[in-house]
Amino acid sequence: MKFLSREKRIRGIGRENWMKLPTGCCLSYCRNNHLNTRKKNQFIDSQRIPKTKTQNFFTSSVSSAADIICVTETWLNNGVHDGELFDLDTFQVFRRDRDLTSSAKQDGGGILIAVRRRFATQMCKTWFSQGICEDMWVSVFLTSKVKVNVCCVYVPPYASEENLTAHLNNVSRIVDQHPNEYFFIVGDYNAPKLTWDFNTQKNCFVVSDISDPFGESLADTYNFLLLNQFNGILNSRGKLLDLVFSNIMGVNVTACDLPFVPEDPYHKSLNIEINLTDELNLKGKASYRTYKFHLANYDNINTELSNINWENLFHGLNTNESVSVFYTQLQQTIARNSIINIQIGFPRNTKNLIKEKYKLHKRWKNYKNDLDYIAFSNLRKLVKTAIKTDYREYNIIHTENNIKDNTKCFWSFIANKHKSKSIPTSVSYDNNTA
């Protein structure tokens, strides 16, 4: 992950709860303290690489099947790069780090949402709450017609009733303005005095005991908005602090048996599954093939594009269909006249383990056989260990051991943590996003 001074270094990311849509979309939610435990000025050590939570989180995110990962209490700031937590060619990362100028706290807080790049996304900054109750909203387009508005929330334990009311009023405003859209709100509400019981008719949890105005306002607001609460996993103290609200029915929440990093005893990691199969027709996996454009034959590309009869190709098509045909022709022409950029990835053995892990997971999901799950769980641990080993060897061999002879290799490694070569999922200009 990224590196900061000791006073302002990344601290957290620890509790992760992830949502998985059976059609291929997943969400993950995390909370914990002290993600990075590196000492001051400890940047590269030829003897060893410090075993920080950031490294564990990175290797876990690479091997995870989650499509969306939400994190609360990240303790991140602008000195920590997204590439230290995620593969930026796989995930698009949205962050709302704690504003230290408006907070009495010198660290802590922070919200993060990461979404796989095969989904179009849009950060909704105008939806953010103002005040000490932190939240972040990202719209995830599962298809061109189906959108889920994902919100990650952190309500600190010292929040007053007025702070919570301001946050809930903001949620009410957003839901009221978008009555026909899906919402998924997950986060740490720090409401231990609320007692939740499972309602078999609604297939969700409802409040059975309210002993303070804080919890009453929370329960009443989400009931009024028709957002049901689906989490019933208690922490080590028998309390429920992390809540999962949604107007999507068929949500299933279970305890995560392999968290990204060690769990906070007060906040369990969760697996969340949502059934939208009947309404979704997701695209296949995105292709991450890139080309060496500086070596492309642009004369041939121009000639081939000039010889295409665009009028005949677009005849009888609407605007969207015409754009699709145009991009298909353009991509095929570029592919024929360009050299593929070979990416350095994991060794073949690790890739084969990852593929086998997905096969076992699919088999277990289809047949619910306990033996399949045991095999999948064991292989998942093996994959995580293999990825961590490969990542460590890459750091040592290609970066640390060659730093004296090849400083360019070192700075290339650092630069890759700052940026992604993937095409952005959305672009903005003059408050317009496409």
Residues (pLDDT < 70) of the chain are 1-52, 100-107, 276-291, 340-346, 394-406, 409-410, 413, 418-428, 431, 433-434
Q: Give the DSSP letter of residue 124.
A: -
- How confident is the model at residue 316, as a pLDDT? 86
Give the integer Cα–Cα distance in Å for 210 and 203.
20
Other Cβ atoms less than 10 A from the Cβ of 143: the count is 15
CA distances from 307 to 264, 301, 304, 316, 317 (A): 62, 10, 5, 20, 20
Report the CATH number of the 17-274 domain: 3.60.10.10
| Domain boundaries, given as residue ranges, for the chain | 17-274, 290-341, 353-433
Residue with tokens 């002879």: 405
Helix (H, G, I), strand (E, B) or coil at 362: helix
Residue with tokens 């190709």: 313
- Name all contacts of 158-164 with Cβ < 8 Å and 24+ positions apart: 158/132, 159/132, 159/133, 159/190, 161/213, 161/214, 161/217, 163/131, 163/132, 163/133, 164/133, 164/214, 164/217, 164/218
Sheet holding 228-229, edge to edge: 120-123, 134-141, 147-154, 182-188, 242-246, 228-229, 204-210, 194-199
**What is the value of pTM for the model shown?**
0.68
What's the distance, CA 328 to chain centroid? Answer: 29
What tens digit of pLDDT does each residue of 275-287 get? 765 444 433 344 4
What tens digit of pLDDT does each residue of 86-125 get? 888 889 999 998 876 656 666 678 889 999 888 889 999 9
- How confident is the model at residue 395, as a pLDDT? 62
Give DSSP secondary structure letters for 48-92.
-----HHHHHHHHHHH---SEEEEES----TTS-GGGTS-TTTEE
Give the integer Cα–Cα distance in Å for 332 and 399.
36
- How confident is the model at residue 4, as a pLDDT? 27
Give the integer Cα–Cα distance in Å for 22 and 10.
33
